Chains A and B, each alone.
Chain A
Amino acid sequence: MLMRRRALLAALALAGVHAAVADPMVDYTLFCMGCHGAQARGVPGKVPPLAGALSRFMRTPQGRDYVLRVPGAANSALSDAQLTAVLNWLAERDAGAGAAPVAPFTVAEVTAARRTPLASVQETRRAVISALAAGGGAAPALDY
C-alpha cells in the first residue's frame, strides 16, 4: 500500500495535478459514506454496494466507464483527482485475495468519462453486469 500510494502521488504529479489531494478516506466519509455506508455495503434495495462490486466493475472498459458515470461519481463535488484517489482507495480494499489487481484509475481516465453522466443508470448497470458475467470471472451481484 505504501508503494501504491507513492506511485499514485507520483502519477498525479506527472499529470500536473496538485499532489496534495485530500485524504481519500476523509473524502469517502464526506462524499460517499452517507449513502454507501461505513462498510461500503450500501442499503439493500436502495443503495448499491461498493464492496464486492467496485473492483469487479473495474475489470473491463465498459465497467470502468459505468463506475465513472454513475451520478454519485460523475456529479460528485470531488475534483477529478480526489475522485480518482477515492475510487482507487476503495478498489484496493475490495480486490479479492489472490485475484489479479485491477488497474487503478488515472486522473485522465476519470476526467474524460465523468463529463457525460449516464442517462439511465439502472438499465446500464444491468447491461454492464450481464456483460461482465457473460465474459467470465467475478461480476457484481445484479440485485441489491
Chain B
Amino acid sequence: MRSLDRMFEQSSRTLAQRTSRRSLLGALGQLLTGAALLPLLPLARGGRAEAATAQPDVNNPQSCDYWRYCAIDGFLCACCGGSTTSCPPGTVPSPITWIGTCHNPADDRHYMVSYNDCCGKTSCGHCDCNRNEREKPTYRPSRNNDLNWCLANGDDSNYHCSVSVILGVVPPGS
C-alpha cells in the first residue's frame, strides 16, 4: 500500500480511479483497522536520539510535547504498552473518534490526526497529556476531545489511553 501521506497529496480523482466497489472508500478503508502499521515519518523515528536538539520533546512519542499530540486529551498509549498507532495489549480501539490537525515542524506540513481512545481497561494513569489546538466544546463533537470516545463500545467503554494516528496531509489552502 502506498504511504498515506503521498496518497492524500494526490488529487482525489486519481484515487477514485483506484477505488474498488467492495470498500466504499477504498484506501481510506484501510485506515484504523489496526492491521496495517503506519510508517513513522522519517524524523520522528529518532525521537529519543534527538534529545540534544533545541526542542527534543517535539519528536518524542512519550512526551506531551510530541507534535502530533497537539489536541490529545488523556493518557498517551505510547506510555501504556501501546504506541501512537496501537492500543495496548488487551484493550479495544474505539471505532468512533474525532480527527484534528497538527503541524509537524519537521516538514512544515499539517497532518490529519485521529485521536482514537483505547478502551476496556481502567485508566492507564501514566503520561497524562491535555492539549487543545483547534479543539472545540462538546457541542461540536467532530472537534472535541472531552468526550470519552470509548462511549460507543458498550461493555468495553472504560477509558484507558489515547492514540494519535496520522491519516494524511491536509492539502494547503483547505
A and B touch in the complex (CB under 8 A): yes
Q: Does B168 contact A (CB under 8 A)?
A: yes
Q: Mark B1-26, 1 if CB is under 8 A from A, else 0.
A: 00000001001110111010101111
Contact status of A30 and B31, CB under 8 A, knowing A23-B12, A39-B25: no
B59 nearest CB across to chain A (Å): 24
Within 8 A of A (CB), among B90-142: 95-99, 101, 112, 114, 140-142
The interface residues of chain B lying within 8 Å CB-to-CB of A2 are 13
Q: Does A31 contact B (CB under 8 A)?
A: yes
Q: Which of B29, B32, B97, B174 contacts A26 (CB 8 A)?
A: B174
Contact status of A29 and B32, CB under 8 A, knowing A1-B13, A93-B24, A94-B24: no
Q: Which of A25, A43, A90, A97 contacts B15 (CB 8 A)?
A: A25
Chain A, Cβ-Cβ closest to B98:
A34
Tell me the bound Cα distance from A41 to B25 in angstroms. Answer: 10
Q: Mark B54-97, 1 if CB is under 8 A from A, else 0.
A: 00000000000000000000000000000000000000000111
Chain B, Cβ-Cβ closest to A95:
B21
Chain B, Cβ-Cβ closest to A72:
B142
Chain B, Cβ-Cβ closest to A52:
B24
Contact status of A29 and B29, CB under 8 A, knowing A34-B142, A94-B24: no
The residues of A with any CB-CB pair to B shorter than 8 Å are 1-2, 5, 20, 22-35, 37-41, 43, 46-47, 50-51, 76-77, 89-90, 92-94, 97
Query: What are 5 A-B contacts defined by CB distance under 8 Å?
Result: A5-B12, A25-B25, A26-B174, A33-B28, A39-B25
